[in-house]
C-alpha cells in the first residue's frame, strides 16, 4: 500500500504526463493525518521528489520540505470547509482553461454537459470570477463553492477538484478537461444533456 507521499507524487507525475499542467503550474495536496502534504512552489510537478514536498499544519505553519505553493491558502480553506475532503487537485488543462477565459460565461454552468460520465461526476460546473492566484479572495470564493460540491472552474485560470482521496479528485479533473475538449470540437453543434447533478 502506497503512503500518502507516494500517492501524491504518483498523481503529480500523472497530471504532468496527461498535460493537465505545464511548467511549474498547478498544485496538488493530500490530507495526511492532522497535516497536509502540498506541492512546493517553483517546481514542475512532473519532476518532484519527496524531500521537496511541503508538510504543513492545518493553520498554515510549515513543518518541512520546500516553500509551499502560493495557493496553499485555497487548499486549507477547502479542507476546513469539508471534513470528507482529503485530496485537492488544482490544474490548468488547456481546454478547460480556454473555457474559463470565455466572455459571458454562465456562472452556474461554465460549459454544456455532453457525456453521461461527465454528468454523473460533475454536472453543472460553476465558475468563480477572476481573482489573483494565491489571494485570500480566490481562496474564499473557491471554498464557498467546494463547501457544496466537488469541482469548480476559476475564471482565466483553471479548475479545482476535491475528493475523499486523490484518485477521485484526479478523475474529476480529467472528466472536466475531456468535456471541455468536446466543447471546443463541437462548438454549438453538440447535443447537450440535461444536468443530473448540480
What sections of the chain are H helices per DSSP?
A: 4-17, 72-81, 94-100, 116-121, 136-146, 166-186
137 tagged catalytic: no
Sequence ranges of the domains in the chain: 4-186
Q: What is the pLDDT of residue 81?
A: 97
Res 2: pLDDT: 87
Helix axes of 166-186 and 4-17: crossing angle, nearest 10 degrees: 10
Give residues with Cβ within 8 angstroms of 77, minimum separation 6. 139, 140, 142, 143
- Tell me, what's the pLDDT at 77? 98
- Catalytic one among 71, 174, 175, 177? 71
pLDDT value for 1: 76
Euclidean distance between CA atoms 181 and 89, whole angstroms? 19
CATH 3.40.225.10 fits 4-186, yes or no: yes
- Has this prediction a pTM greater than 0.85? yes
Q: CA-CA-CA-CA torsion for 122, 123, 127, 132, nearest 10 degrees?
A: 0
Question: Within the chain, which residues score under 50 in pLDDT?
Answer: none
Amino acid at each position: 500500500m502506497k503512503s500518502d507521499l507516494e500517492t501524491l507524487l504518483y498523481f503529480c507525475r500523472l497530471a504532468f504526463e496527461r498535460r493537465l499542467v505545464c511548467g511549474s503550474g498547478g498544485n496538488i495536496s493530500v490530507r495526511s493525518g492532522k497535516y497536509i502534504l502540498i506541492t512546493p512552489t517553483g517546481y514542475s510537478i512532473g519532476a518532484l521528489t519527496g524531500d521537496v514536498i511541503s508538510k504543513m499544519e492545518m493553520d498554515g505553519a510549515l513543518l518541512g520540505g520546500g516553500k509551499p505553493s502560493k495557493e496553499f491558502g485555497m487548499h486549507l480553506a477547502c479542507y476546513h470547509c469539508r471534513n470528507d475532503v482529503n485530496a485537492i487537485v488544482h490544474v490548468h488543462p488547456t481546454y478547460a482553461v480556454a473555457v474559463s477565459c470565455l466572455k459571458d460565461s454562465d456562472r452556474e454552468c461554465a460549459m454544456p454537459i455532453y457525456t453521461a460520465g461527465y454528468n454523473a461526476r460533475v454536472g453543472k460546473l460553476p465558475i468563480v470570477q477572476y481573482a489573483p492566484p494565491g489571494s485570500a479572495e480566490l481562496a474564499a470564493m473557491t471554498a464557498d463553492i467546494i463547501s457544496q460540491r466537488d469541482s469548480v472552474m476559476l475564471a482565466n485560470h483553471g479548475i479545482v477538484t476535491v475528493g475523499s482521496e486523490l484518485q477521485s479528485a484526479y478523475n474529476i479533473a480529467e472528466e472536466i478537461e475531456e468535456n471541455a475538449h468536446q466543447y471546443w470540437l463541437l462548438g454549438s453543434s453538440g447535443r447537450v444533456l440535461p444536468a443530473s447533478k448540480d
